[in-house]
Amino acid sequence: MKLENIPQHSLEFFDEDGGGGARYERPWLLADIGGTNARFGLQTAAGRIDAIWVAECAAYPTLGAAIVQYLSRPATVAAGGYQARQAGIAIANPIDGDWVRMTNHHWSFSVEAICSQFSLRSLHVVNDFAALARSVPFLSEQHRVQVGGGAPRLNGVVGLVGAGTGLGVSGLVPVGREWMAMDSEGGHCTFAAVSEREIDILRYAQRQFEHVSAERLVSGPGIRLTYQALAARGGVAAQDIDTAQIIERGLRGECLVCVETLEAFCEMLGTMAGNVAITLGSRGGVYIGGGIVPRLGGFFSRSGFRRRFEQKGRFSDYLAQIPTYVITAEYPALIGMSVILAEIA
């Protein structure tokens, strides 16, 4: 299975079943919506997504407004965007009924209302990490980087965890010859501190939040909160810098607190990934998605992530056999959303 090297405006991927049944006519409108960015594309043929566009969610008052802007773009018009009558949206929050309200952004919408506004015959909405999970069988070796040892078991359960604006969790379970993606809000489980440093970070966070979830710390906003906690722990004044600046200064080694923040982030993510692996029995491997880890490059590979992933006492040998991969493909959730639509077509 392969995902080709492609220009940013389109992508091609291997589509085993040719894209599903005949009752869904292309193009299909696809979207992957996170707390910071929304990614749109049109599937114009089996295994091909065109007119990819990335927008900042904060630039648009509603999802509908962002879709209007996307459909009016020349590349979308040329690809036949206004002809789309089927759509799929992968979004970073739970899905339960017609009304969808985002956890880490102010957008909310009615599925039925979006269908009516854009003359859609169907709109399928799923959790973004469920869509990401469905993309895993379509990712080639070139679009994942293994961190640490281990080897995947054939037809083993796959775990997913990823940090961005929030912390996503999912699993991919083999069911006969098919795969089933798990809807999960595992990022909101209670944060578990492992080291003295993390205990101090947790105490700092508890002064601000009644419940400190893993997402509060293992996420983009969590990096800033961790930086503030570590500055206080070290008795230095925290600067007024955002997550991107913390990452940049940490990677350059310009700020010791920023470096320590990135190391703490990698270790805490390792604990969370290990928890997912041991909970699901992820013998097929654990995949790391989200927008933060790929930006860390070699720092992540050299960090304490893998050591912490395996640090499970009597089950350390069990975890050592499970491989961990960083997903480096640009738009994997769009692929996963396409796979989901193809199956229900």
Helix then strand then coil, % of the chain, to nearest 5: 40, 25, 35
| Residue located via tokens 């600046």 | 245
Q: Where are the beta strands (DSSP E) in the chain?
A: 11-12, 28-33, 37-45, 48-56, 86-91, 99-101, 108-110, 122-127, 144-147, 158-163, 167-175, 178-181, 286-289, 324-327
SS3 169: strand
Amino acid (one-letter) located at 313: G
- What is the spatial distance between Cα 196 and Cα 216, in angstroms, rounded to a whole number? 18
Which residues fall in the annotated binding site?
Answer: 31-36
- What is the spatial distance between Cα 179 and Cα 203, in angstroms, rounded to a whole number? 40
Which tokens in the block code for residue 73?
Answer: 């773009």
Rounded to the nearest angstrom, the gap between the alpha carbon of residue 341 and the centroid of all alpha carbons in its chain is: 19
Residue 87's CB: how many other CB atoms inside 10 A? 24
Relative to beta strand 99-101, strand 167-175 is unpaired
Which tokens in the block code for residue 128?
Answer: 């973004």
Which residues fall in the annotated binding site for ATP?
Answer: 31-36
Span between the terminal Cα atoms of the chain, in Å: 22
- 60: exposed, middle or buried (Cβ count in 10 Å: 0-12, 13-18, 19+): middle
Relative to beta strand 86-91, strand 28-33 is parallel
Contacts of 239 (CB under 8 A, 6+ apart): none
- What is the spatial distance between Cα 141 and Cα 96, in angstroms, rounded to a whole number? 35
Residue count of the chain: 345
| Residue located via tokens 């854009």 | 118
